[in-house]
Amino acid sequence: MAANPTIDATAQLFGAPKSQWKEARKALKKFARQKPFGFLGGLIVLFFIFCAIFPQALAQFDPRELVGGRYDRPMTEAYDGFGGTYFLGTDDMGRDVFSRTVWGARVSIRVGIAAVLVGISAGVLLGLTAGYLGGPFDMATQRCVDAWMAFPGLILALFWVSMLEPGINTITWAIAITLWPGASRVVRSSVLAIKQTTYVEAARAIGCTTPRILFRHILPNIVAIYVVLISLSVGGAIITEASLTFLGLGIEPDVATWGNLVFQGTRSLFLVGWWLPIAPSVCIALTVYGFNMFGDGLRDTLDPRLRGSR
C-alpha cells in the first residue's frame, strides 16, 4: 500500500514538536532525579524571575506609594482606605516593605543577568579568538587578562561607578567589566584542545575561513561552557550589585532594589525597624543559592566527564 503524502507531511509538521516536547520532559525528569539540588535551584530561579517579570501579581501596593505609617510592624492591617495587610511592615516613609521587596527583584535580577550576558559574552569571544589564533595576539591578550585579574572585582566596579553617574546602566557595565577575564581564560583553555581535533584540521585543509571555523566548528562545542558560566555568574553579579548599592555607589536610593532595601533597613536595624533588612537579605541569599545550585547541576549534566556523578 502506497504511503499517503498528506499523512507524511502532517507527521513531519506536528510529530516532531511532540517528540521534542517528550524528549524535553524526559530530560527534565532525568535532571530532577539525578540532580535534585540543581532542580530545586532551577525552581528558585524561575520563581524570582517570575517576580521580576510580573511583580504586580504578588505585590499589592506600588513600591513608591505611601500607604501606611512609619515603621508599622509586620502583619499590620492597612488603613486610610488602602486595604490589605503589610506582611513585612512599612519603612521610614510608610511604604510597604513586601511590595518593595517583590519589585526589587526586577532591578536586581535585570542588572545581574544583563551584566553577566555582556561580560561573559565578551570573555567568550575574546577567549575563542585568542585560543584559536595563538601567537603574539594570544600572548598579549593573556597578559592583559592577568593584569586585569590582579585587581579585585569589587574594586574595579567601585572605580567605574565612582567616575560615572549612578544608575542601572552604569552598575551593569561596572559588573560586566569584572567578568570577562575569567570567562576568556576558561574558554581559551577549551579552544586550545578543540582546535587540535581532526574535524577542525579538516575544515582548515579544505580552505574554510577563520570566522567559519570559529563560529561553525568550535563555538558549538563550547556552548555548554557558555551556559554554565552564565548560570554560575549571575549570583555573584547580584551580590556585587547589592554591595555597591549598600555602599551608596549603586542605583538611586529611591529605586526599589534589594541592595537599597538592605542599606536603608540596616540604618534602623537596632532602633525600631529591625525587620526591614531581613526580607531582601533572604531574597539575595535564596537567589544566589538557586543560581549556584542550578549552574552546578548544569555543569555536571553538560560536561561528559561528570555525567553520572552524584
Q: Would you say residue 9 has pLDDT above 80? A: no
The whole-number pLDDT of residue 50 equals 93
Amino acid, single-letter form, for residue 190? S
Three-point CA angle 172, 176, 181, nearest 5°: 170
Distance CA 231, CA 291 (A): 6
The dihedral region occupied by 84, where left means phi > 0, alpha psi between -120 and 50, and beta the remainder, is left
The confidence score (pLDDT) of residue 116 equals: 93
Band (pLDDT 50/70/90 cuts) for residue 309 is very low
Q: Which fold has domain 34-62+78-306?
A: MetI-like fold (1.10.3720)
Instruction: Encode burial over 16-38: b for 16+ CB neighbours within 10 A, e otherwise.
Output: eeeeeeeeeeeeeeebeebbeeb
pLDDT tens column, 85-137: 778 888 878 888 888 999 989 888 998 899 999 999 999 999 999 999 888 99
pTM of the model: 0.80
pLDDT one-digit tens code per residue, 184-233: 999 999 898 888 888 888 988 888 888 898 888 888 888 888 888 888 88
- Residue-level pLDDT at 126: 93
Nearest to 289, CA basis, from 236, 244, 245, 241:
236
Task: Give me the residue spans of the domains in the chain.
Answer: 34-62+78-306
pLDDT at 83: 62
Interatomic CA distance for residues 108 and 203, integer angstroms = 44
Of 21 and 3, more confident: 21
Residues 6+ apart with CB under 8 A from 119: 175, 176, 177, 178, 179, 180, 183, 233
For 25-84, the pLDDT digits (tens) are 887 888 888 888 888 999 999 999 999 999 988 888 888 888 877 888 887 776 655 566
Can you give the pLDDT at residue 207? Answer: 87
pLDDT tens-digit series, residues 223-275: 888 888 888 888 888 888 888 888 877 777 778 888 888 888 877 666 676 77
Say what the pLDDT of residue 306 is. 47
Residue 291: pLDDT over 80: yes
pLDDT score of 80: 57
- pLDDT (0 to 100) of residue 18: 58
